[in-house]
Each structure stands twice: as C-alpha cells, then as structure tokens.
Amino acid sequence: MPDYADLLIERHGDVALVKLNRPEKLNSMGGTLMSDLFRYCNSLNSGDYETRAVVLTGEGRAFCAGGDVTGFPSANPNSPRATAAWRRPHPEQSTITAMRNCDVPIIGAINGYAVGGGFGLALATDFRICSEDAVFECSQLKRGLALDVGLPFLLQETVGTQRALELAATRRRITADEALALGIVLEVVPNNRLIDRALELAQQAAAGPPLGFAATKRLVYLPEADALQRVEESTGAYISQLFKTEDAREGAKSFAERREPEFRGR
C-alpha cells in the first residue's frame, strides 16, 4: 500500500476504515491530508480492487476543522501566496471530484467538528452518519472568505438554496439533531457506536455488486458533474481575491486573537 502521511488506513475485510490523521490540528487541511485523500481515492479505481467500501472519519475529537487558518495568505500577507497572480484551478485534481468519481461507496462517519472545508469534505461522501457530538458550520465566512471545498454546490444540493444561504449568512453551528432533520446525515448514533455502525453500513454496501454500484454512482452524479466543476473553478477565483481583502486579514487576525471579527466590507 502506498505511504499516506496524513491518513490512517485499517482493513476490515473488504472495507477500509480511513482516518484523517492530523488530530493535533483537529484534522485541518494542512500537511498532505488533501493530497493523500486524493491519491487514495484514485487508487481505488486503478489497482485496489479488494476494497469494496470505505468509511471516512477523523482521528481524535474532530472529523475535519477545515482550512488551517495559520497558513492562510490573509494570515501571512508577506507570503508568496498572498501576492501571487491567480491561476486557473484544475478541478480534475480536486479531492472532492476524486471522491465523487471513486467507484466504491464512501460512507462518512462524522465525529466532532466538520466545519468550513471539513463540512464540504463531509458532504462529498456518498452518505453519512454522525456522532451525537457532531457539529457542522460554514466557518469560512467567519474568516472573511467564501464557502469552498465544493461546499457552495454540495450544501445547496443537500439542503436547498434558501437553507444553504441562511447557514452561510448566519454562520451558525448545526447540531447533530438538526443535521439529521436537514438531511445532512442519515443517522445520529452515540459517540462510542459511530465506527461500529459505519462499518455495518459499509459491509452491507460491500456485499453488493461492485460494478453495478460503480455504474449507479456515476449515473446519480452525472447531472451535476459539470456544475460542480464550474463551481470549483469559480471558487478558486473568488477565494484568491478575497484573501487580499481587509476583511480576510481581520478574519485571520480575530481567529488568532480568539475574538469575534469586525468586518468592514473592504
């Protein structure tokens, strides 16, 4: 098996339990986490035919806390990323796209925080359950940015346009029970039952015909494939410009100072 620095992979028969493994950072999207997950999902279509289902969860007390704010260009205005010219994103290199294109079912076992980009990562799984302490949030707007990691598309797809915009505008936290009511997750289970229940679902999925599921998954996602790509391309353009604003700098500064941001719209 290839080496994945920021993933832990456990075998449970023909099911793989994959854990995002940056627990000291609440599994935020730094290090090699996203590139590791991208490579792993692609490997399931080109060589690893023994894995019939995947459970994706987070090591420690969070699923994924989104982007690592300390590495944002708005937190480091003199960094090359803060002054670099915008370049066209390549959605074919996107982890979200790789998850959607993966031929095997990916079951999200959402533990603790799934916020910001971590919320998008959770919604990119094919279906989800969560623990009682799970928290979902559109936290990017607290940093003066816009929804990213596929979240503008995936959230609207899941809860509808009006609710997606309300969750973005209010930036409020969604509890496990509300996530169930909104259709973000299929089940809420006790914290100590999360992985066992996710593995049960994965084993049911793994017992089905793999080629039939692969074809079905592609057909289910077919109508949205082009739309997701357009959203991801546009997101890159918007985020690169927002990183240069005073609001984004205030968002990063307020995070470091543990206070509420004061946005001025410039």
Structural domain spans, the chain: 7-192+206-256
- What token pair was written down for 120? 């998008």
DSSP state of 86: P
pLDDT of amino acid 79:
59
- The residue that leads in pLDDT, 143 or 84, is 143
For the chain, percent of residues with pLDDT exceeding 90: 70
pLDDT of amino acid 251:
84
pLDDT (average), residues 103-131: 97
Residue 206: pLDDT over 60: yes
Residues 196 and 182: their CA atoms lie apart, in Å, by 24
Tell me the pLDDT band of 91, cut-offs 50, 70 and 90: low
pLDDT of amino acid 1:
60
Fold of the CATH domain 7-192+206-256: 2-enoyl-CoA Hydratase; Chain A, domain 1 (3.90.226)
**Distance spanning both ends of the chain, measured CA to CA:** 48
- The residue that leads in pLDDT, 80 or 45, is 45
Tell me the pLDDT band of 89, cut-offs 50, 70 and 90: low
The residues that bridge with 135 in the sheet, in sequence order, are 113, 175
pLDDT of amino acid 244:
85
Residues 164 and 182: their CA atoms lie apart, in Å, by 11
Tell me the pLDDT band of 90, cut-offs 50, 70 and 90: low
Residue 75: pLDDT over 80: no
Residue 81: pLDDT over 60: no
Among 115-119, 150-154, 246-250, the minimum mean pLDDT is found in 246-250
Residue 138: pLDDT over 90: yes
Residue 71: pLDDT over 80: no
Residue 86: pLDDT over 70: no
Residue 137: pLDDT over 70: yes
Q: What is the pTM of this model?
A: 0.89
Residues 153 and 228: their CA atoms lie apart, in Å, by 6
Long-range pairs for 259-264: beta carbons < 8 A, 24 or more residues apart: 261/142, 261/143, 261/144, 263/144
